[in-house]
Amino acid sequence: MIAAHPDQGWSLLCNGVVLFEDTGLLLPDGSVVAPHRSPVAA
C-alpha cells in the first residue's frame, strides 16, 4: 500500500490499483471493477 485515506474510503496499492472501501477497484488502465457485496440476509 502506497497511500491510505480511510477518511475518504480509498487506498492506493503499489501496483497502481485504487482500492475503495466498498470493494470497488479502479485499475491503472482506467477500467473499473464494480463493488461486489454479499447478499444481505433477510
Asked whether 12 and 18 are in contact (CB, 8 A), the reply is yes
| 38, part of any domain | no
Domain assignment of residue 16, yes or no:
yes
Which residues, given as ranges, of the chain have pLDDT below 70?
37-42
Please give the pLDDT value at position 26.
85
Q: What is the pLDDT of residue 14?
A: 93
Of 35, 28, 30, residue with least CA distance to 12: 28
Indicate whether 8 belongs to any domain.
yes
Domain count, the chain: 1
pTM across the whole model = 0.65
In-domain check, residue 42: no
C-alpha cell recorded at residue 26:
479502479
Rounded to whole angstroms, the Cα distance separating 36 from 6 reads 19
Answer yes or no: is 29 within a domain: yes
**Is residue 39 one of the residues assigned to a domain?**
no
Structural domain that includes position 15:
3-33
